[in-house]
Amino acid sequence: MHDNLVICDRCGSDACYVQEVNNEIKNYMCYGCGFITNSVMKKDSKFLEEQMETLPELYKELLGEDEDTGLVWMPNTINIQDKGMVFADGPNGENWRWAAVKATLMGEEESEKFKAKGKDFKWKMDMDTIKHFEEGDFMEALDYIGVFKES
């Protein structure tokens, strides 16, 4: 297995991270545009059909097929328990931006409610901290939640 940076087929950025999972599957995650794909996510593929069952409507609208490779790109959702979350947000594919929310520690009472259900959560996404970033500002959204800072 090896990882490297390549030019993004979707946006042309030089910040597209490629991870080789095995001989048949490669994951592509572009920090330039914030979109992801993999070598099995092609139009009419079973993998894409499965994704379509759970994707929010906005993500479905934002799907885009690369004419040269046939890969279908979709917005990424970053969810880091102790930092925050970055996701595509908006009413439709014509009017959307990246949203970033910071994680905050739960109060003891709130945390105990989850423990009673067998879940041990310490962090929650604080929607009061939501900040929106333009389509080309995915890295700024990640920076807002502290992805590039040491914990």
CB within 8 A of 140, min separation 6: which ones?
133
Q: What is the pLDDT of residue 117?
A: 74
The whole-number pLDDT of residue 101 equals 98
pTM to 2 decimal places: 0.88
* Beta partners for residue 79, in sequence order: 85
Which whole-number Å values give the CA distances from 5 to 14, 18, 26, 31, 42, in the listed order?
7, 6, 12, 10, 21
Q: What is the pLDDT along the chain (151 residues), one digit of tens a residue?
A: 456 999 999 999 999 999 999 988 999 999 999 999 999 999 989 999 999 999 999 999 999 999 999 999 999 999 999 999 999 999 999 999 999 999 999 888 877 777 777 777 789 999 999 999 999 999 999 999 999 887 5
Q: Which tokens hold the place of 104?
A: 């905050």
